[in-house]
Chain A
Amino acid sequence: MSFRRLFFNLIFVLVSFILQTTVFRTFDLGGVTPNLLMIFAASTAFIKGDKQGLLAGFFCGLLVDIFFGSYLGFFALIYMYICFVVGKLHDIFYTQNLAVPIFIIGLSDFVFGFICYILMFLFRTKFNIGYYMNTVIIPELVYTTLVAIFYYPIILAFNNSIDERELRSEKKFV
């Protein structure tokens, strides 16, 4: 992993987190904000494969943990595993087509919401899953997917330009 890639990924994580907690909090729909960090982590996993994906997921989750988690490592673990699975799809699908990644990002956000419900609510005997589905998980999924349509191409473009640059610098020495 080159320094440039590291730098851009760091910037992306920070920007996603800051936007998610500030701007999108102000412009929330029905009290729900899109999960930009999940979009970024899942996109990275989808574009670059499982290893980069699980690293991206780990650091995204860690940032959430530092600021909003009760225990360090809780969200990091969830993000990491989801991105690892998404990264496995990297070998199967093309990254250029927009429909597949958007669908996968939506799916991973749904899984994330569902795991959160199970770990944080179901275990505290709050069984009304229909309610939580309708007010949190599904709206978040829809909003996240909508934002992903615009956010994913940006991430893809950055990754492609870095790939190209790396390829060029490699060729120089061959």
Chain B
Amino acid sequence: MSPIIRRGGDDFTLPSKYLLFILTIVCVGLIVITFNTNIFSGPLNSVAGVFVVPFQKGITAVGTMLKDTTDRLSEITRLIEENEELRAQVDELTISNTNLEQEKYELTELRTLYELDSQYEDYQKTGARIIAKDAGNWYHAFVIDKGSDDGIMPNMNVIAGGGLVGCVTDVGPDWAKVQSIIADNAAVSGMVLSSSDNLIVSGDLELYKQGYLSFSKLVDSADKVRIGDKIVTSNISDKYLPGILIGYISTLDDDANNLTKSGRLSPAVDFEHLNEVLVLLDLKKQAEK
């Protein structure tokens, strides 16, 4: 290191409070800009993706493997006990199964009525693996290992295990950020399957720890909605394709205004153990064509 350069370095001593001031303005500027537009997301996402995503992919794979092995060891003893219980349960279930067989007939009839089956199949899907989850503990966003190179675009719906997980909010070349419906800042327009009444499903950190989502603004003047009814995404949602299962109603209360109802629903997807998801490649507008 030559002395000249060092002296140059010494001269350049911007007091920290000015630096703080400048960076504060930069931050506020960025917040304002990104609040109104999304011009930065493209290039920044690509740069960040190059440095971070490959590592996340590798480490998540190893981490899940380690976790699996440790879980397996600790669960063996528990499984032996559980096995006994389950055997007893199998007998009970065989009996109830026969009852259900009869109800299944009814169900297939209802399904064809709502054309749920065909709708799910019509959508083009692609599988993706979750490689990173939210850095903070407040929201439930995660990153998947497919991006614009695989044809993924913002606002595409993400499902897993037959239920709605969330939608893509941000895309890089080989990664995409998914906002889940259980996040505290997420809201989905839903519909009760049996009565086609619309409602708003919103994530709630407080309820989620108990395993619920909350819903509100259900107009049910005919009083037909019951606990256990299926809630699916509605036709009028701007991002979500219609007819994707969200969950089942578990509590139902009248609001103070006596016009609408609200309550809780249990989600159809097990968000705790989510590793792989399906991204529906159809966007809402195209599907509604």
Interface residues of B in 129-153 (CB under 8 A from A): 131-139, 141, 143
Interface of B is mostly: helix
**Cβ-based interface call for A87 (8 A):** yes
Q: Choose among A51, A76, A131, A140 the residue that contacts B137 (Cβ–Cβ < 8 A).
A: A140
CB distance from B23 to the nearest CB of A (A): 5
Interface residues of B (CB under 8 A from A): 1-3, 6, 14, 16, 19-20, 23-24, 26-31, 33-35, 40, 44-45, 48, 51-52, 55-56, 59-60, 63-64, 66-67, 131-139, 141, 143, 177, 184-185, 205-206, 209, 272
Interchain nearest-CB distance for B278 vs A (Å) = 21
Task: Name A residues whose Cβ lies closer than 8 Å to a Cβ of B.
Answer: 2, 14, 17-23, 25-27, 31-33, 35, 37, 49-51, 54-55, 58, 63-64, 66-68, 70-74, 76-77, 80-81, 84, 87, 116-117, 120-121, 124, 126, 128, 131-132, 135-136, 139-140, 169-170, 173
Contact in complex: A72, B63 (CB < 8 Å): no
- Give the nearest-CB partner of A69 in chain B: B34
Chain B residues within 8 Å of A19, by CB: 59
Q: How far is the CB of A133 from chain B (nearest CB, A)?
A: 12
User: Beyond the given A31-B272, A67-B135, A73-B27, could you list 7 further A-B residue pairs with CB under 8 A, ordered by the A residue number?
Assistant: A14-B51, A35-B136, A54-B19, A55-B19, A67-B177, A68-B136, A71-B30
- 8 A-B pairs with C-beta separation under 8 A: A14-B55, A22-B131, A58-B23, A66-B44, A67-B52, A67-B135, A71-B35, A87-B16
Contact of B31 (CB < 8 Å), options: A17, A64, A73: A73
Q: Which residues of B contact A84 (CB under 8 A)?
A: 16, 20
Q: Which of B27, B44, B48, B131 has the most chain A CB atoms inside 10 A of its CB?
A: B27
Residues of B near A66 (CB, < 8 A) are 44-45, 48
Q: Is the CB of B135 within 8 A of A37?
A: yes
B27→A21 contact, CB < 8 A? no
Residues of chain B with a CB closer than 8 A to A54's CB: 16, 19-20, 23
Bound-complex Cα distance A53 to B264 (A):
44
Contact A22 B132 (CB under 8 A): yes
Q: Tell me which of B30, B137, B177 has the highest count of chain A C-beta atoms within 10 A of its own C-beta.
A: B137
